[in-house]
Amino acid sequence: MRWKLTDRFAGLFFPKEKAAMIKTLAVMTSGGDSPGMNAAVRAVVRRALDRGVRVYGIYYGYDGLLRGGDLIKPLNWEDVGNVLQRGGTFLGTARCEQFKTVEGRRRAVENILERGIEALVVIGGDGSLTGGLLLANEWPEHLEKIASARPELQPIVEKIPTLQIMGLPGSIDNDLSGTDMAIGVDTALNHIVHAIDDLSSTAASHQRTFVIETMGRNCGYLALAGALATGASWMLIPECSLELHWHQRMVECLDKACKTGRRHQMVVIAEGARHPDGLRMESGEVRKILAEKLGIEVRLTVLGHIQRGGAPSAFDRILSARLGVAAVDLLVDEPDVVHRHMVGIQKNRVVSTPLIEVIEKSREIQRLIESGDFSKARELRGEAFRSMLELAESLTAACPSQKSAGQDRVVIMTGGADSPGMNAALSIAARRLLDRGVSVLGSKDEFYGLTHGDLIDLEWNDLAGWMGHPSSDIGTARSSQVREDFGKIAENIAKFNIKAIIAIGGLDTYRHVQRFIEMRAHFAEFNIPVALVPASIDNNLPGSDLCVGSDTALNNIVEAVDKIRDTAGATRRAFIVETMGKECGFLAAMSALAAGAEKAYLPETGISLAELNRDVSELRRSFESGNRMVIYMRNEDASRHYTTDFLRRLLEEESKDEFEVRSVVLGHVQRGGSPTAFDRILAGRISAGAVDALLELMKNGSNEVLAFGLKDGAVVSCPLSEALDQLDATHGRPKVQWFMDLFPVIHSLVKSRPYRRDGVEIVDKEAADPQLF
């Protein structure tokens, strides 16, 4: 069965009460810990309480379920109030050999029955989900034995004839079928990328080669994505079909790269990488081969458990929230369905897949890798994995696979406000073109460089090091062209033999390209194809669900709010945190969800006086109940008159000295720093797609102008005119914004208390008007 989150949640702020069988559920984390598990537990607990369902927390996984006692405790709203930013899992996790026995599982069933638990939400990997499915399948047999041995439990046995199981994928290896990303993967990948970035600086200083080992016993996603995001020289993953003499090819490639000017190299290997015969490969063995054959100093770094530690990324927090809420709603809204499912994310949509299907497909891939059928394993990984592997393999070469076929050139420019990940988009687009035998020029400061002939040759070896650079190394000056400028642009297009343009930037860049197109009637040189790659931290561009840079900005905001929360013990304070975004509320809304803010003021919904009055009352009530900190997010253009400073002064006046009020304007810190792994991969996927389409347009002599983006998890394109038709020009944002469908999820989790307790409403609907948000 497949279920779309947006379909289920449209307008769903006050779900109707049903005669649902589910009145009590339990949540547990199991297997290896994964960043974001706490966020998932929080989402399950708060959504369940909000729907009138009692919740138990099971400590230390299946071991706690078996032992019972104080290891299975009720959880309330406040118990999960400050866990979002914490790594690991506050519920704990442990291996339990006794659970593998029938007797052990029967004891677990007794503990479940004693508390009237009707559904179990299991957050973990393949083994954890298998344990839950096994328990559910054996349920009738256990009930029969327990009913005869313990007659006092007979009434409960009759009430719970079936155990519902909902799984949430928690595994940094990303080796579970049924979901594009598992909880914790993005955080682990960021740790890998940051580690390689840091190692690159010392490697460059000493002209050294490093071998970096990542986790991934049966899935090479972390190593693959890490190599692509950092411009590594070579990678080794379980899904790769290696030749018998693979090491000779690796040595030749690195040696050639060194001789052509690349003085330091990064080789990324997954812990589960294998030889052609299926035997596991040792990272130390790879280091020894390189050192002996190249006669150079090679260092080995095993990243180990640092990959699964630390605070979860914004992506993992949001993913956990979406999946946790969906799991609870499926249990509550579909009482007649026997749930043995895992809730995952596919193409940016929440879906549920039968657990048996998830487990069998995941294990089939593992079996294929162990038997050496790597091509079939890659096929089962999916199209996104295969395309990323193809891209990474082409970019890890020592030099382009084709020499330049002629004097024709493509120019790449970055424009508008700078955005983290622009360099990654530029680097991959340029290397993709060079690999196809096309010369590439970089235009300094968008159209300014094309106007004044300020163009630079983009070289293969230089570009690999740009992946982690902030902003844009060729500049993004905001400039508007006058009539005389277009004549100069036409001259330079002819002079430098430019046959196509790739423009990376925000809404200003889109409009500059549109103006460029309008001048075609006057300049024949402008009749060349153009590809647009969306790059804006505001995430306000049409034709794409996400823009390059928005994930980095979101993480910058969340990290800042986490630091603000660290001061919670000092005194009772309310903070109003202002984010960028222009008239698009993406950053404010999603940071509220990821950072656990109590509210977000957005331009899409505006701010009213009545709303502010309710906010003051709710704020005072929150502190009276023992809360020591409240955080409100405010988009910079949420209201023309109710500014951040106005809100601070209003709340401060109404506080009556019962609490302090502070305002924080994050400003340009949101667009600074090295891009996240997500932004680098996003930039790579869209840029590669843009290049492939552009080459086809050049081949066919087309002058089409296409805007590229990511929609429903796939790289798509449409004519620029169609993209601009999707734009709300007055407010500078798309007419339809997917994240607005997440409002019920956000609203359900960030408020200070649930709407219901034991099925009874405890908050007045008028006071909890969704327009508050």
Active site residues: 173
Unique residue bearing structure tokens 């769903």: 12
CA distance 473 to 422: 9
Three-state secondary structure call for residue 598:
coil
Nearest to 448 by CA among 410, 486, 417, 419: 486
Task: Enter the tokens of residue 175.
Answer: 């080796």
CA distance 87 to 306: 11
Q: Are 599 and 726 in contact (CB under 8 A)?
A: no
515 phi and psi angles, rounded to 5 deg: -65, -40
415 phi and psi angles, rounded to 5 deg: -145, 175
Q: Are 208 and 225 in contact (CB under 8 A)?
A: no
Give alpha helix (H) positions in 421-466.
422-435, 447-452, 460-464
Q: Are 226 and 232 in contact (CB under 8 A)?
A: yes
Count of beta carbons in the 10 Å neighbourhood of residue 518 = 11
CA distance 644 to 636: 8
Give alpha helix (H) positions in 642-702.
644-654, 677-699
Count of beta carbons in the 10 Å neighbourhood of residue 393 = 15
Pairing of strands 573-579, 629-635: parallel
CA distance 117 to 24: 5
CA distance 717 to 726: 13
Strand partners, 49: none
